[in-house]
Amino acid sequence: MNNSLLVVVIASGVGYGTPLLYAALGELVAERSGVLNLGVEGMMLVGAVMGFWTVQRVHVGSTAVLAAAIGVAALAAGAMALIHAFLVVTLRANQIVSGLALTIFAGAGGLSSYLGNDLNLSGSPARHQFTEPLPKSLQDLKIVGPILFGQSVLVYVSWLCVVLVALYLRWTRAGLNARAVGESPAAADAMGIDVARYRYVHTIVGGALAGVGGATFSLWLTPQWVDGLTEGAGWIAIALVIFAFWRPTFCLVGAYFFGALTALPFALQAHDVHISGDLIQTIPYSMTVVALVLVSTAVARRRLGAPAALGRPYVREER
């Protein structure tokens, strides 16, 4: 039973979906405050490489080093996000271009490759990796075993992150202020909310989460470092935020959906079934476009659409 196609696909989906989930949560946090950050792929890679470096070079006990690695990954990616925040919030640069510049700077063929190469990180497997910590008895349970209990700590922490982000946005005053900044920075500013500060913080936190997502690759899923390890996961995360209509809980579902679709071709091969994985994979994107069109009627847009001020710099003195 636990080796059936469905269970395998879902279980792998959860696995593959986890870096997507982290990165998408991060991007969601940034976008809710009105900042579009297309540099997710770059930030994930920097997080992946720096997390990997920590594990290879820092000599302490396994748990400690893994925790430290996550921390380093978050910090490194957060630093990348800081560049983007500085450019778009303080220097009023175009958010699209700045994000793309960040991807070029930090992504494959950029800083992450530079670091990976200079620090001699490719070629060897990770000295420590995340494993599946729960007892085997739980992991062997029918269906839920592999799917829920056979996962790494990173997966469980990601669920915690979803809850935290959802609570933050909906139930805290800071979250309310942040959402106001993303919907109507002028109104928020008029009410004394510091638009710039919220945008900075949200963008940096967004980067940190993307970094953790990247580390999920290099420390668990494919515990090694190669150039461009994430293979476009960052871009999928961006689409995922939109697909989830900027809601954290939908991100969870969507991430596993996307993850399952990614795992599908491999699982199909192993089971000797031949369906085109690629065409199936177009489904979420096409769905998103259709949904966006439906949502474009002015009324629905308000309920389901993007944060109104997404992508536009806020300048108070603008004449």
Partner 1 sequence: MSASDARPQVQQEIVTAAPGGAAVTLRGITKRFPGVVANDHVEFEAAVGEVHALLGENGAGKTTLSNILTGLYRPDEGEILLYGEPLELHSPRDALDAGIAMVHQHFRLVEPFTVAENVLLADHRPATRSFLVRPREVERRVGELSRRYGLMVEPRARIWQLSLGEQQRVEILKALYQDAKVLILDEPTAVLTPQEAEALFETIRAMAADGRTVIFISHKLHEVKAVADRVTVLRGGKSIATVDAADATPRSLARLMVGREVEIARRVGDERAVGDVVLEVEGVSADGDRGTAALLDVSLSLRAGEIVAVAGVAGNGQRELAEAIAGVRPTRSGSVRAGGRRLRGGDPREAISAGIAYVPEDRLGVGLAPTLSIASNVVLKSYRRAPASRGPVLLLSRIRELAAGLMRRYDVRAPGPEVPTRLLSGGNLQKVVLAREFSSAPRVVVAASPTRGLDVSAIETVHDYLRQAAAGGVGVLLISEDLDEILALADRIVVMYEGAVVGERSAEGADVEELGLLMAGGEEKR
Partner 2 sequence: MRIERRLEQPRWLSFAVPAAALVLATLLGGLVLLVTGHPPVKSFRRLFEAAFTANGALSATVVSATPLAFTGLCAAIAFRMNLFNIGGEGQLYGGAITGATAGLLLADTPSPVAIGAMVLAGAAGGALVAAIPGFLRAFLSTNEIITSLMLNYVVGLILTYLIFDTHSYLRDTKGFQAQVFPQGKTLPESATWPSWTIHGLALPLGFLLAVGLAAAVWALYARTRFGFEVQVIGDSARAARYAGMRTRRKILAVMCLSGALAGIGGASQDGDFRHQLDPRGLTAAGYGYAGIVIAALGRYNPVAVVVLAFGLGGLQNAGYTLQSADFPAGLVGVMQGLILFCALGGELFVRYRVRFERRAPKPAPVAPEPSR
Does 296 bind partner 2 (CB under 8 A)? Our answer is: yes
Asked if 296 touches partner 1 (CB under 8 A), the answer is no
Residues 142-181 that bind partner 1 (CB under 8 A): 170-177, 179-180
Of 53, 296, 22, 2, the C-alpha closest to 165 is 22
Q: Site for partner 1 (CB under 8 A): how many residues? A: 23
Handedness of CA 146, 152, 155, 161 (dihedral sign): positive
Taking CB under 8 A as the rule, does residue 101 contact partner 2? yes
Least distance (Å) between residue 186 CB and partner 1: 8
Q: Which is nearer to partner 1, 142 or 303 (CB)?
A: 303
Asked if residue 168 lies in contact with residue 191, where contact means CB atoms within 8 angstroms, the answer is no
Q: Using an 8 Å Cβ cutoff, are 33 and 178 in contact?
A: yes
**Among 303, 315, 317, 318, contact with partner 1 (rule: CB under 8 A):** 303
∠44-48-54 over CA atoms, to 5°? 145
Per-residue binding string, partner 2, 258-277, x by CB under 8 A, is ------------------xx
Residue 172 found at the interface with partner 2 (CB under 8 A): no
- As given in the structure block, the two tokens for residue 215 are 């580390």
- Token reading at 191: 């009410």
**Residues between 185 and 244 with contacts to partner 1, criterion CB under 8 A:** 186-188, 190-193
Nearest approach, Cβ of 302 to partner 1 (angstroms)?
5
Cβ 218 vs Cβ 8: under 8 Å: no
| Secondary element (H or E) of residue 114 | helix 111-118
Which x/- pattern, by CB under 8 A, does the window 241-280 give for partner 1?
----------------------------------------
Note whether 77 binds partner 2 by CB under 8 A.
no
Please tell me the distance from the alpha carbon of residue 297 to that of residue 292, in angstroms, as a whole number.
9
Residues in the chain, overall count:
319
Q: At what angle do helices 40-57 and 62-85 cross, to 10 degrees?
A: 150
- Cα separation, 127 vs 219, in Å, equals 9
Q: Mark the segment that binds partner 2 (CB under 8 A) among 103-111, 142-150, 164-172, 215-223.
A: 103-111
What distance in Å separates the CA atoms of residue 92 and residue 229, rounded to the nearest whole number?
Answer: 32
Residue 21 interacting entry, from partner 1, partner 2, none, C-beta within 5 to 8 Å by type: none
Residue 189 binds to partner 2 (criterion: CB under 8 A): no
When asked if residue 113 is in the footprint of partner 2 (CB under 8 A), the reply is yes
Residue 290 touches partner 1, criterion: CB under 8 A: no
Q: Residue 34 burial (CB < 10 Å; 0-12/13-18/19+)?
A: buried
Are 181 and 34 in contact by the 8 Å Cβ rule? The answer is: yes
Q: Residues in contact with partner 2, total (CB under 8 A)? A: 56
Residue 167 has a CB neighbour count (10 Å cut-off) of 12
Out of partner 1, partner 2, none, what residue 104 binds, judged by CB under 5 to 8 A for its kind, is partner 2
Residue whose CB is less far from partner 2, 142 or 274: 274
Q: Which residues bind partner 2 (CB under 8 A)?
A: 36, 83, 87, 91-94, 96-98, 100-118, 227, 235-236, 238-239, 242, 276-279, 281-282, 285-286, 288-289, 292-293, 296-298, 306, 311, 315, 317-319
